[in-house]
Structure 1
Amino acid sequence: MPTALSVLDLATISPGDTARDSFDNSVTLARAAERSGYRRVWYAEHHSMEQIASSATSVLIGYVAAHTETIRLGAGGIMLPNHSPLVIAEQFGTLETMYPGRIDLGLGRAPGSDQKTMLALRRDPSSADSFPQDVLELQGYLAGRSRVPGVQAVPRPDSEVPLYILGSSLFGAQLAAHLGLPYAFASHFAPDALHQAVTAYRDTFQPSHQLPEPYVMAGVNVFAADDHDEAADQKATAYRNRARMMIKRGAADTVLTDAEIDAFLASPNGRPLTTMTKYTAVGTPAEVRSYLDDFADSIGADELILTHQATRIADRVRSVELTGAAMAADVPAG
């Protein structure tokens, strides 16, 4: 593939489905990515969100790993200030021991939810300030070079668990550059600082044992279908559902029609939700390839992390397959 492709599986619980259905859908999606040539599938730590089933991120990774063969699996990401570095080192050391050569660990510093949930997690509001030190402590445990005398993470796998820094601001870019780690920008929902952050990362990168030169990953939303109108309909449905979920968090009894959601998204109050998904590829395989090629070229991306956002699992699987084939094809996109 001209640019490496990976998947961020949001582990959504679709309307009418259960959390168990979501877990099985994640296996189905990962298998589709595996046979379609994708490099990895990541899952993100979210909490107290009725439609997202990836809160116990390491458990979900282990479940999907047990039902796939070769594709890399990991966290995109673990919100490290929610946890002690030792516990995360133990979890991912266990995963890598079980599935050697297949486990990634992406790290972020956001709560992964709202302020009330942050308090329920027993997270100190200032815990994000120690994120750089926590990354180094975690790195030490995984490498067998603990920074805490007398403490080690068990099991520690024979193979390496590569670390990635996730972010949507200059802070993450500068930290990843300073530590010599790959940088993944969350442009699938926070697009504003993408180009500035990637430039800062490359300009200040310091080589490390894990990485000799900068490695940029970026998120893009994708709706690929055999027909353009079908893909556009999938996008409209998915983004309406997304808007409903976000509105419901503030008003549990609110029920809005499609027309009301569309009017809200077109209004000044709804514009922030619309701009969050600025980077979205939608259409036929050729149209999606053209979009992704242009996006990757605009930042010199080494890898794209794609969120296939269609509501139905069959449509998400088809989007994964069509996009993988289109990006692998040795023909110009039309």
Structure 2
Amino acid sequence: MTRLSLLDLVPVVEGGTVSQALANAADLARHAESLGFARYWCAEHHGMRGIASAATSVVLGHVAAATSSIRVGAGGIMLPNHAPLVIAEQFGTLDALFPGRIDLGLGRAPGSDQRVARALRRTLETDANAFPQDVLELQSYFADDGQTGISATPGAGAEIEMWILGSSLFGAQLAAALGLPYAFASHFAPYALDQALSVYRRDFRPSLRLSKPHVMAGFNVFAADTDAEAELLASSQQQSFVALRTGNPRQLPPPVAGYRASLGAQGSAILDHVLQCSAVGSPATVARALAAFVERTGVDEIMVASAIYDHDARKHSLTLTAEAVEELKIAA
């Protein structure tokens, strides 16, 4: 049975504020919890006016405090930006506050450009290729196995569910070697999805944490009562993607009717690439797209991603998505 989870980049809409975005994040997580979503994740991005989740562990504490049962986690923490001990302490604190509910997805991208990465790290001597060693060091802090000579407090003994994130074969290979669950960022980088899942499943080595491969994949969903309404809602994220990929990131703009048709060749090519793993439409349209994606990939979980300008419309989209998945279960 494929489970639904939610990725929220905590969008700051045009005309809105960071405070409003954070309030919406907590409200959206409560709504996802009421619908039976398994997880709520937010991600580390820096220097972006339209994303309010830069201080990821702080946002997760805010969301976890507003909910009671849904798992809450990072999708992800960009480990090259941080000393592993700092992340062990942060997520150990979250686990102490909300035991049994905290996930930690780890990636090796900077979550920013090189200028912002330098401001974060103070030096770019940090080697992204050391990511596997940093993951092992982080695991050692949580296990409190003495390998580092330091006991993380909080952190030692924390029951954190750790994931490896990726959009290429590197993350798939690492997750397989460490026997960890794997989440693929197909909601914006879909090209290597099938190959990465194949590598992960083929090379997976059982661990104390996981006995068999477990995969989650990102999937954009914009659901509304009609296909036309959903197409309108999706235009906000489409505008944001085009702006980002053309070097002009912005806050999440209001929807624009006929936006996709108004784009030239370059803009259309950008959207054709990043939105391959998407469903835009009525519940029936969304159900068909989700069923096809699960049949193609065999994923254990779908991480629903969607940036919708109107908060109530976003909640309604999640409701319709959950109903569509429930219909698929009944049909099966």
Q: What is the TM-score of this pair, normalised by structure 2? A: 0.93
Once residues 258 and 87 of structure 1 are traced to their aligned partners in structure 2, the CA distance between those partners, rounded to angstroms, is 42
Change (3 A) 1:25 1:146: farther
Change (3 A) 1:289 1:262: closer
| Structure 1 residue 273: Cα displacement | 4.3
Once residues 131 and 20 of structure 1 are traced to their aligned partners in structure 2, the CA distance between those partners, rounded to angstroms, is 33
Listed as ranges, the matches of 1:151-162 within 5 Å are: 151-156=150-155, 160-162=159-161
* Number of the residue aligned with 1:111: 110
Which deviates more, 185-194 or 239-248? 239-248
Specify the code of the residue in structure 2 equivalent to 1:86. L
Deviations 1:76-133 (A, max 9, x none): 0000000000000000000000000110000000000111111111252552110000
| Structure 1 residue 266: Cα displacement | 3.7
- Could you tell me whether the CA contact under 8 Å between 2:41 and 2:72 is conserved in 1? yes
* Number of the residue aligned with 2:326: 328
- Could you tell me whether the CA contact under 8 Å between 1:222 and 1:309 is conserved in 2? no
* 1:57 maps onto 2:56 in alignment: yes
Once residues 239 and 160 of structure 1 are traced to their aligned partners in structure 2, the CA distance between those partners, rounded to angstroms, is 38
- Could you tell me whether the CA contact under 8 Å between 2:142 and 2:158 is conserved in 1? no
Change (3 A) 1:53 1:226: same
* Number of the residue aligned with 1:280: 278
Instruction: Name the SS of the counterpart of 1:121 in structure 2.
Output: helix
* Number of the residue aligned with 1:127: 127
Once residues 151 and 200 of structure 2 are traced to their aligned partners in structure 1, the CA distance between those partners, rounded to angstroms, is 31
Change (3 A) 1:259 1:155: closer
- Could you tell me whether the CA contact under 8 Å between 1:82 and 1:121 is conserved in 2? yes
* Number of the residue aligned with 2:170: 171
* Number of the residue aligned with 1:229: 228
Change (3 A) 1:260 1:281: closer
Instruction: Name the SS of the counterpart of 2:330 in structure 1.
Output: coil
Tell me which of 271, 286, 305 is aligned to 1:307.
305
Change (3 A) 1:245 1:96: same
* Number of the residue aligned with 1:75: 74
Deviations 1:190-226 (A, max 9, x none): 0000000000000000000110000011000000111
Once residues 224 and 146 of structure 2 are traced to their aligned partners in structure 1, the CA distance between those partners, rounded to angstroms, is 49
Once residues 84 and 264 of structure 2 are traced to their aligned partners in structure 1, the CA distance between those partners, rounded to angstroms, is 43
The runs of 5 or more residues in structure 1 that have no matched partner are: none
| Structure 1 residue 249: Cα displacement | 3.1
Change (3 A) 1:201 1:265: farther
Once residues 269 and 239 of structure 1 are traced to their aligned partners in structure 2, the CA distance between those partners, rounded to angstroms, is 9
* Number of the residue aligned with 2:189: 190
- Could you tell me whether the CA contact under 8 Å between 1:264 and 1:270 is conserved in 2? no
Count of residue pairs the alignment pairs up: 327
Deviations 1:43-98 (A, max 9, x none): 00000000000000000000011111110000000000000000000000000000
| Structure 1 residue 27: Cα displacement | 0.7
The runs of 5 or more residues in structure 2 that have no matched partner are: none
Listed as ranges, the matches of 1:230-245 within 5 Å are: 230-245=229-244
Instruction: Name the SS of the counterpart of 2:109 in structure 1.
Output: coil
Once residues 68 and 235 of structure 1 are traced to their aligned partners in structure 2, the CA distance between those partners, rounded to angstroms, is 27
- Could you tell me whether the CA contact under 8 Å between 2:214 and 2:300 is conserved in 1? yes
Once residues 18 and 172 of structure 1 are traced to their aligned partners in structure 2, the CA distance between those partners, rounded to angstroms, is 34
- Could you tell me whether the CA contact under 8 Å between 1:265 and 1:273 is conserved in 2? no
Once residues 7 and 244 of structure 2 are traced to their aligned partners in structure 1, the CA distance between those partners, rounded to angstroms, is 19
| Structure 1 residue 147: Cα displacement | 2.3
Once residues 204 and 244 of structure 2 are traced to their aligned partners in structure 1, the CA distance between those partners, rounded to angstroms, is 38
Identical aligned pairs, as a percentage? 49
Once residues 246 and 54 of structure 1 are traced to their aligned partners in structure 2, the CA distance between those partners, rounded to angstroms, is 20
* 1:28 maps onto 2:32 in alignment: no
Once residues 260 and 327 of structure 1 are traced to their aligned partners in structure 2, the CA distance between those partners, rounded to angstroms, is 28
Specify the code of the residue in structure 1 equivalent to 2:225. D
Instruction: Name the SS of the counterpart of 2:24 in structure 1.
Output: helix
Once residues 247 and 27 of structure 2 are traced to their aligned partners in structure 1, the CA distance between those partners, rounded to angstroms, is 29
Q: What is the TM-score of this pair, normalised by structure 1? A: 0.92
